[in-house]
């Protein structure tokens, strides 16, 4: 997934970076970052599968449509990507954080189009207190801009040990957050803050297997949320990674990738 590789473009303009061949996994990143967060997964999984990483609306090289966003805008974007890359059979859909919320909403509507669903460090059925916390964080970003988002994310996602041992990873995440049009990203962030109730109670009909995973110390995408998702989905497995925070797909990539690879054997 080098900088020189041109992305595939769907009919509506969504950029999708494609690596590898065979059965397909489609990755949806989290809010304020972009497809680059999936580099460890591309390296580990593309020797075995076709890996498709998109930029969601308002992020990276994706278009920013006029007006405000709703959750179904992102569901429609993902549906087009799924339809485009289903030529080798139904794909597995993997979403992180806001990408996981979109993946839940997509699966609730189109689970028959999927071979499997992977939900990493995502949100589900926030409590009133949790909803108030993320709303206050969003309002702070609106008032103070991207540097407020970078500062807040850095404090919540990385430990002192991470700062000592993984400074380049932290610098990469901060750069991804700063890149692009922050106003466009805020449209998506508002959806992330306000839309988790739209999928609550809708996961019981899923016909595809699901993998739900979060970090033991993820305060925003909590183990309790992960358990609620796993309990709601008929065929789901749950993994709570010990001593991990929100950015575990990057910081604990080896552990995450090993679990994903095992799960994929169930899907095809």
Q: Is 123:101 a contact under the CB 8 Å cutoff?
A: yes
Tens of pLDDT along 200-259?
999 999 999 999 999 999 999 999 999 999 999 999 999 999 999 999 999 999 999 999
* Helices 182-194/71-84 angle, 10° precision: 100
Instruction: Quickly state the pLDDT bin for 3 (edges 50, 70, 90).
Output: very low
The pTM for the full model equals 0.97
CB 103 within 8 A of CB 196: no
Beta bridge partners of 28: 54, 95
The 10s digit of each residue's pLDDT in 84-101 is 999 999 999 999 999 999
Confidence at residue 2, expressed as pLDDT on a 0 to 100 scale: 43
Q: What are 124-181's pLDDT values in tens digits? A: 999 999 999 999 999 999 999 999 999 999 999 999 999 999 999 999 999 999 999 9
- 3-state helix vs strand vs coil in the chain, percent to 5: 50, 15, 35
**CATH placement of domain 8-267:** 3.40.50.1820
Contact 194, 103 (CB under 8 A): no
């Amino acid at each position: 997934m080098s900088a020189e590789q041109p992305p595939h473009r769907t009919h509506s303009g969504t950029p999708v970076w494609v690596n590898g061949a065979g059965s397909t996994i489609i990755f949806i990143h989290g809010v304020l970052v972009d497809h680059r967060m999936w580099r460890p997964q591309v390296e580990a999984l593309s020797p075995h599968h076709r890996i498709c990483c998109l930029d969601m609306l308002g992020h990276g090289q994706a278009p920013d449509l006029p007006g405000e966003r709703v959750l179904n805008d992102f569901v429609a974007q993902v549906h087009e990507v799924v339809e485009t890359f289903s030529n080798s059979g139904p794909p597995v859909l993997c979403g992180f954080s806001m990408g996981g919320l979109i993946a839940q909403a997509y699966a609730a509507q189109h689970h028959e189009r999927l071979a499997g669903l992977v939900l990493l460090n995502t949100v589900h059925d926030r409590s009133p207190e949790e909803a108030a916390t993320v709303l206050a964080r969003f309002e702070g970003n609106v008032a103070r801009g991207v540097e407020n988002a970078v500062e807040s994310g850095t404090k919540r996602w990385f430990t002192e040990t991470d700062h000592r041992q993984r400074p380049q990873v932290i610098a990469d995440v901060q750069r991804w957050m700063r890149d692009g049009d922050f106003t466009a990203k805020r449209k998506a962030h508002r959806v992330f803050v306000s839309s988790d109730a739209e999928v609550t109670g809708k996961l019981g009909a899923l016909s595809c297997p699901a993998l739900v995973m979060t970090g033991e110390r993820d305060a925003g995408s909590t183990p309790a949320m992960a358990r609620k998702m796993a309990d709601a989905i008929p065929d789901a497995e749950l993994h709570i990674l010990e001593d991990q925070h929100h950015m575990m797909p990057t910081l604990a990539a080896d552990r995450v990738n090993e679990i994903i690879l095992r799960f994929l054997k169930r899907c095809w």
